[in-house]
């Protein structure tokens, strides 16, 4: 009989679906949590020692449980925990900061996945509800009475839960910022986002780009936060109502909408906004918001010797089953120093030296040099990042980090062999290196 402390193997299968897909990644968080990522699901490994820590039952087996129906193929997973686990491992030495950082990133990712699940619960019902309503009205439009329309199930619970978790996500994002900046956060003012940004502007000038990014996102952050407050503390100028499918004059119908009055805190009042559309915009904004925070904060904490930089893959290099966009590697500046050092020592410089380091700079764009650029680009679902513009609403500024405009040459590694800088190459990015 195999003992519980012996090495073991286990097949990870989805208990709800037939899923024989391969494991994309396995990540360990501070030796406390082992996560297993497939393309469309996430699992947590439960060893016998976790189940029976006192070891009272020697025959206790190892097992696992499914913790999310969203996996590595989703940008909500790949571009948060999977992406930054690798960056943090590369950029930070072992210690308390690294441990707390990984735990907070995973906690924030869990909140993001909860919001994604709430949004999905609503969105995935819409086609069927729309079809049923169309058929029902078509079959009965000649009668004087239309039967009750099909409804989106658990609409109010999922929509309100999204806002409740979403606001906590925003608060925890500022707690993450505090980990890098020592931003003071009290229990009574942790949601005073404007105050936090002013403190960063006054006390952390090195994080100027972060403060600017936070200011650009404040429009939708305040709206989401105040919508959540309207649920828990309704009153004049602070209310939110949700309507399911509804029949309108002319035998037309509408999908679920919500209306809110936030005029007690913001100059915002909206009527009959499609719930699924606004949740989708919020969800994508939350993804890019957290990604921006991590990129900007980690960039400020990279070693001062310039050894490491954060790079961005070109679109064609991003894997569909795990669409990571950024990673950390040795900087071009370090390679120039290494080349000079090897030359002085009489060593032979060879392209294989670059290949072994996995710089892969010809496919990447150096992110820190352009991180101030913020323009619109498609979201993970191909939609706009900014909150949908409607008549009478305040114009929303661009919210997200756009595509970086400049890219390194197609044969950047070889250029390093002949030129002090890739810009010195006469062909630059137009053809084979000289």
Instruction: Please state, in angstroms and rounded to a whole number, the distance separating the CA atoms of residues 431 and 424.
Output: 14
pLDDT attached to residue 340: 57
What CA–CA distance (Å, rounded) separates 79 from 144?
53
Mean pLDDT for all residues in the chain: 79
Q: What pLDDT, in 10s, does the model give residues 4-47?
A: 777 777 888 888 877 777 899 999 998 889 999 999 999 999 98
Instruction: Say how many Å lie between the first and final Cα of the chain, rounded.
Output: 65
- 258-311 confidence digits (pLDDT tens): 999 999 999 999 999 999 999 999 999 999 999 999 999 999 988 877 788 898
Say what the pLDDT of residue 185 is.
93
Does residue 387 register a pLDDT over 80?
A: no
pLDDT for residue 421 is more than 80: no
Distance CA 193, CA 180 (A): 17
Supply the pLDDT for residue 308: 87
CB 352 within 8 A of CB 103: no
Per-residue pLDDT reduced to its tens digit, 319-376: 999 999 999 888 777 666 655 554 544 444 343 333 333 333 322 333 333 333 232 3
Check residue 281 and give its pLDDT.
Answer: 96
Query: How much is the pLDDT for 257?
Result: 96
What's the pLDDT at 305?
A: 76
Q: Is the pLDDT of residue 390 over 60?
A: no
Give residue 95's pLDDT.
81
CA distance 35 to 105: 13
**Inter-residue contact 239 to 261 (CB < 8 Å):** yes
Rounded to an integer, the average pLDDT of 58-78 is: 91
- CB within 8 A of 399, min separation 6: which ones? 216, 217, 219, 220, 285, 288, 374, 376, 385, 386, 387
Q: Indicate whether 197 pLDDT > 70.
A: yes
Nearest to 81 by CA among 113, 110, 105, 114: 105
Q: Kind and range of the H or E element at 67?
A: strand 63-68
Tokens standing for 62?
Answer: 């190892």
pLDDT digits (tens, 9 = 90+) for 160-189: 999 999 999 999 999 999 999 999 998 889
Q: How far apart are CA 95 and CA 70, in angstroms?
A: 30
The answer, yes or no, to whether residue 318 has pLDDT greater than 70, is yes
Q: Indicate the pTM of the whole model.
A: 0.77
| Closest CA relative to residue 91, chosen from 310, 292, 296, 289 | 310
- Measured from the Cβ of residue 189, the count of other Cβ atoms closer than 10 Å reads 11
Whether the predicted pLDDT of 393 surpasses 60 = no
CB distance 328 to 90 below 8 Å:
yes
User: Which tokens hold the place of 67?
Assistant: 């913790």
Instruction: Report whether pLDDT(65) > 80.
Output: yes
Q: 91: which 2 tokens?
A: 């950029």
Residue 73 has pLDDT above 80, yes or no: yes
pLDDT of residue 260: 96
Q: Which of 357, 377, 362 is nearest to 311 (CA)?
A: 362
**Percent of the chain with pLDDT strictly greater than 70:** 76
What pLDDT shows up at residue 6?
72
- Outline where DSSP puts E strands in 352-391: 364-366
pLDDT of 21 reads: 79
| Angle between helix 275-301 and helix 96-140 axes, rounded to 10 deg | 170
List, in order, residues 6 or more apart from 354 with CB less than 8 Å away: 335, 413, 416
Provide the pLDDT confidence category of residue 407 given band limits of 50, 70 and 90.
very low
User: According to the model, what pLDDT value does residue 176 have?
Assistant: 97
pLDDT at residue 397 is higher than 90: no
Alpha-carbon torsion angle 120, 124, 126, 131, nearest 10: 180
| Cα four-point dihedral sign 13, 118, 126, 148 | positive
């Amino acid at each position: 009989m195999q003992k519980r402390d012996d090495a073991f193997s286990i097949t990870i299968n989805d208990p709800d679906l037939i899923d024989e897909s391969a494991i994309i990644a396995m990540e360990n968080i501070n030796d406390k949590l082992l996560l297993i990522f497939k393309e469309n699901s996430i699992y947590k490994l439960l060893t016998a020692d976790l189940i029976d820590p006192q070891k009272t039952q020697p025959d206790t087996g190892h097992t696992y449980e499914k913790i999310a129906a969203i996996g590595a193929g989703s940008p909500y997973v790949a571009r948060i925990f999977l992406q930054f686990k690798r960056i943090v491992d590369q950029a930070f030495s072992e210690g308390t900061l690294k441990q707390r950082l990984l735990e907070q990133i995973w906690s924030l990712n869990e909140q993001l996945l909860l919001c994604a699940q709430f949004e999905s619960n609503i969105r995935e019902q819409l086609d069927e509800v729309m079809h049923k309503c169309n058929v029902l009205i078509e079959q009965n439009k000649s009668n004087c009475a239309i039967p009750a329309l099909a409804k989106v199930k658990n609409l109010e619970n999922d929509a309100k839960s999204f806002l409740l978790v979403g606001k906590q996500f925003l608060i925890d994002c500022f707690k993450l910022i505090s980990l890098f900046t020592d931003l003071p956060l009290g229990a009574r003012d942790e949601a005073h986002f404007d105050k936090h940004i002013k403190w960063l502007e006054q006390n952390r000038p090195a994080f100027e780009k972060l403060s600017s990014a936070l200011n650009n996102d404040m429009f939708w952050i305040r709206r989401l936060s105040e919508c959540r407050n309207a649920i828990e503390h309704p009153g004049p100028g602070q209310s939110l109502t949700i309507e399911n499918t509804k029949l309108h004059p002319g035998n037309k119908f509408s999908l679920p909408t919500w209306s809110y009055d936030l005029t007690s805190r913001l100059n915002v009042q909206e009527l009959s906004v499609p719930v699924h559309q606004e949740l989708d915009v919020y969800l994508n904004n939350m993804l890019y918001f957290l990604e921006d925070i991590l990129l900007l904060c980690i960039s400020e904490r990279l070693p001062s010797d310039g050894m490491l930089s954060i790079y961005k893959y070109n679109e064609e290099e991003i894997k569909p089953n795990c669409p990571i966009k950024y990673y950390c590697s040795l900087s071009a500046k370090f390679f120039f120093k290494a080349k000079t050092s090897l030359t002085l020592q009489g060593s032979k410089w060879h392209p294989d030296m670059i290949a072994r380091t996995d710089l892969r700079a010809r496919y990447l764009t150096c992110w820190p040099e352009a991180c101030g650029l913020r323009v619109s680009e498609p979201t993970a679902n191909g939609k706009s990042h900014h909150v949908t513009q409607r008549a009478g609403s305040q114009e929303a500024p661009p919210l997200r980090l756009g595509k970086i405009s400049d890219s390194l040459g197609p044969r950047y590694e070889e250029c390093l062999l002949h030129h002090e800088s890739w810009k010195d190459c006469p062909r630059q990015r137009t053809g084979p290196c000289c």
